[in-house]
A and B are shown apart, each in its own frame.
Chain A
Amino acid sequence: MRNGPQSGPVLLEWPDEHGLRPQPLLNTPIRVSGVDTAFRVETPEGTDIDLHPAGFYARSLAFLIDESLRWSIILGTFAVTGLLGVFGRGLALIVFFLCYWLFGVAFEVLNDGMTPGKRYQGLQVVHGDGTPITLPASLLRNLLLWVDLLPVFYVAGIVTMSLSQHFRRLGDLAAGTLVVYRRQPAAVDTDPAAHATAAPPRVRLTEAEQRVLIDFLERADTLTEERRAELAGMVAVPLEVTDDDASRAVLALAGTLRGG
Chain B
Amino acid sequence: MRQQTFETIRAEEWEAFARQLDGADPASQEGAGTFARRYQSLARDLAVARSRGYSRRLVTRLNELVLRGHNRIYARRVGYGAAVREFVLAGFPIRVRSAWRFVLASSLLFAGSLVGMAVTVLVNPEWVYSVMSAEQAAALEAMYDPSASVIGRERASDSDFAMFGFYVMNNVGISFQLFASGLLLGLGSAFYLVFNGLHIGAAAGHMVNSGFTDTFSGFVAGHGPFELSAIVISGAAGLMLGYGLLAPGTMSRAASLQRAAREAVPLVLGAALMLLVAAFVEAFWSSISAIGTPVKHAVGAALWLLVLAYLVGAGRAGGSPADDTSGAAAEG
* A residues with CB within 8 A of B: 1-2, 5-15, 17-18, 24-26, 43, 45-51, 86-87, 89-94, 96-97, 100-101, 126, 130-132, 134-136, 139-140, 143-144, 146-147, 170, 173-176, 183-184, 186-187, 189, 192, 207-208, 210-211, 214-215, 218, 257-260
Query: Which residue in A1, A5, A87, A140 is a CB contact (below 8 Å) of B161?
Result: A87
Collect the chain A residues with CB atoms within 8 Å of residue B173's CB.
97, 100-101
A26–B254 contact, CB under 8 A?
Answer: yes
The digit string for B148-164, where 1 denotes a CB below 8 A from any CB of A, is: 00000000011101111
A208 to B323, CA, bound (A): 51
Give the residue among B61, B164, B169 with the most A Cβ atoms within 10 A.
B169
Give the residue among B39, B163, B183 with the most A Cβ atoms within 10 A.
B183
A12–B55 contact, CB under 8 A?
Answer: no
B79–A9 contact, CB under 8 A?
Answer: yes
A to B CB contacts below 8 Å, 11 in the list: A12-B87, A12-B265, A13-B76, A13-B322, A26-B252, A45-B43, A86-B158, A101-B172, A126-B71, A184-B60, A214-B55
A147 to B176, CA, bound (A): 11
A175–B258 contact, CB under 8 A?
Answer: yes
Q: Which A residue's beta carbon lies closest to that of B27?
A: A1
Give the residue among B157, B172, B180 with the most A Cβ atoms within 10 A.
B180
A187–B91 contact, CB under 8 A?
Answer: no
Give the residue among B63, B80, B82 with the most A Cβ atoms within 10 A.
B63
A139 to B264, CA, bound (A): 11
Q: How large is the interface on B (under 10, 10 to 19, 20 to 34, 35 or more residues)?
A: 35 or more
Flag the segment in B2-10, B210-218, B290-298 that touches A: B2-10
B162–A89 contact, CB under 8 A?
Answer: yes
Query: Which residue in B53, B71, B262 is a CB contact (below 8 Å) of A132?
Result: B71
A143 to B264, CA, bound (A): 12
The digit string for B241-274, where 1 denotes a CB below 8 A from any CB of A, is: 1000000000010110111011001101100000
The digit string for B52-85, where 1 denotes a CB below 8 A from any CB of A, is: 0111110011011011001101111011101110
A10–B70 contact, CB under 8 A?
Answer: no
Q: Which B residue's beta carbon lies closest to that of A183?
A: B64
B86–A43 contact, CB under 8 A?
Answer: no
A2 to B83, CA, bound (A): 15
Collect the chain A residues with CB atoms within 8 Å of residue B161's CB.
86-87, 90-91
Query: Which residue in B165, B257, B262, B266 is a CB contact (below 8 Å) of A90?
Result: B165
Chain A nearest CB: distance from B28 CB in Å?
A: 14
Query: Which residue in B75, B87, B177, B255 is a CB contact (below 8 Å) of A25?
Result: B255
Chain B nearest CB: distance from A222 CB in Å?
A: 11
B219 interfacial contact with A, CB 8 Å: no
A208–B169 contact, CB under 8 A?
Answer: no
